[in-house]
A and B are shown apart, each in its own frame.
Chain A
């Protein structure tokens, strides 16, 4: 897995509620065999592009200075809906490293940690203030997300702490692979299975 320690950059305010994973990546793009790496150009295509394929100037990702932002700011329930991990790959493909929102869809949240993208939960007041500070100083304002110290630093230098599970923090900072960690427990898995086969034999087809 990719490591994540810290990112500093422009944060794009996509200030809407319930940004669902259908909006982040359309399902057809996951049928067409684009692969994990090629999804960036299709991220948010429904709002980034008009039906004729030209850029929609109203979309924040088409506006300066947000075009290549590594951070997204959004409202409640970002990443709700479908379990498609393609949503995270698409964000990664467009260069996103962290998303800051009050809370996230549960499956999306897990998928982020599997791919080195950091979902940062902050109260809506803080997210709104970050968005305001970005807009107040276009071109100069930067946001920092620091996973080691679990803080966000706002464009005006405010330090806002956030919470992350210690296990996930450790895995992200060190780029650890879940499967390798689990395989280290192989003895315990086998012992559990042997016991279960006699306790619930009907489960074992």
Chain B
């Protein structure tokens, strides 16, 4: 029987079988950020565990600093000690840190692929649940907790139990206004936030093959929101074109050798999966979430759903509508919006920013809306500026900010005020995620841009 992409990477990283279904797995890349990474380094050092493979570890601050234009680590004082301690601990062992303002700095899940650190067929971990993003490059990437981080620093390995395999096939062509963000939101709405628990997900099908790498990263980013720690797309020529020439990608003869190896990785035709799910893209319209879980999602031209239809989820739906201040049965389109956030490791790459700019160009945001664009990295910021996209946003009344996580999680003083409604390109609409009392609707960058212009939830297909 053939093997799946997942099994090929898994099997090639088993150092030893620990029994009872557990293995010791080699970790090829460890990425650190300022919330979990600096602390884990400190803890490891305090416990007497020096990093054993500092050259396989890369760090970037992204979570705890302000993204205000001209910011430093002092602009949001609570984050300063975390950033400083990250500098100290990485500096001590010669671990590469992409510091604030430097080329390479950015949101950790933007930085890895952008720098060519995330490679097909590798295992990669980070103390952050959206590490699944890197699976878009054909890597096996896991989010891990603080204790596991210390374990990786100390041993460059992880104790792992093999998950089951789940293949999701997206077939057909994307309809106008539909992006990979809509694909994954639709999927989560279809199967629920727990469908992936205990599974490794592979995204396949003609619609996935046609996606550029950045869109694949978005797809894999939200995998954790369906309960799976890891999601992946098989590498192909699109992947290799994206990677070629990036700073840390292999070069010359080594490149050819690597590509030859990567070509052996895609899932064999006769590989078997424990679960399969298929989505026909002809039926998927632009999506928007209405509630407080990513599974609370509908097509933008639909009515807000009625909890009476929710079965055993009725109480959760009622609570979500109450928190969000919405009435069932009403169209979601036209719901007044106060804030728009375009950014986060889901949707802050150059293609996302271009898609938003295309909607914004020649228009102006609604008077009552505060709209932010937060590029995912220094490099993306510079690229966008060289294309004049910052001007497009500034002329339309948006703020153009420094790279970072910003309003995705409100750990840096940047929040949606209580009771205010936000359309956000990030990945979590949990209660209080964007600030206590904040009401979040997740959508694609173009949909978010359209909401800023209209001052209300809008259908991007009408632009």
Among A18, A27, A81, A185, contact of B24 (Cβ-Cβ < 8 Å) = A185
Contact residues of B between 32 and 88, Cβ < 8 Å to A: 35-36, 47, 49, 55-56, 63-64, 78-79, 81-82
Please give, as numbers and ranges, the residues of chain A lying within 8 Å of B145 by CB-CB distance.
83-85, 88, 107-108, 110-111, 114
Does the CB pair A30–B35 fall under 8 Å?
yes
B121 → chain A closest CB, angstroms? 8
A57 → chain B closest CB, angstroms? 18
A189 to B144, CA, bound (A): 20
Known: A83-B127, A106-B229, A182-B155. A202 touches B254 (CB 8 A): yes
**Is A80 located at the chain interface by the 8 A CB criterion?**
yes
Number of residue pairs A-B, CB distance < 8 angstroms: 169
Please give, as numbers and ranges, the residues of chain B lying within 8 Å of A108 by CB-CB distance.
145
Number of residues on chain A facing chain B (CB within 8 A): 55
Listed in ascending order, the chain A residues whose CB lies under 8 Å from chain B are 16-18, 20, 22-23, 26-28, 30-33, 46, 51, 76-77, 80-86, 88, 103-108, 110-111, 114-115, 165-167, 178-179, 181-183, 185, 188-189, 192-193, 196, 200-205
Known: A18-B316, A188-B16, A205-B248. A77 touches B155 (CB 8 A): no
Top 10 A-B pairs, shortest CB-CB distance? A114-B147, A202-B250, A111-B145, A85-B146, A85-B145, A27-B411, A83-B129, A167-B20, A166-B20, A83-B143
Which chain A residue lies CB-closest to B117? A205
Q: Write 20 A-B pairs (CB below 8 A) sorted by A numbering.
A: A23-B431, A51-B436, A80-B227, A82-B428, A83-B36, A83-B143, A84-B35, A104-B197, A106-B228, A107-B224, A110-B145, A114-B147, A115-B147, A165-B20, A165-B161, A166-B20, A178-B159, A179-B154, A182-B151, A185-B157
Does the CB pair A179–B151 fall under 8 Å?
yes
A88 to B146, CA, bound (A): 10
**Is B447 located at the chain interface by the 8 A CB criterion?**
no
Does the CB pair B316–A201 fall under 8 Å?
no
Does the CB pair A202–B143 fall under 8 Å?
no
Does the CB pair B64–A31 fall under 8 Å?
yes
Does the CB pair A80–B15 fall under 8 Å?
no
B106 → chain A closest CB, angstroms? 19
Please give, as numbers and ranges, the residues of chain B lying within 8 Å of A46 by CB-CB distance.
431-432, 436
Known: A188-B15, A205-B55. A18 touches B147 (CB 8 A): no
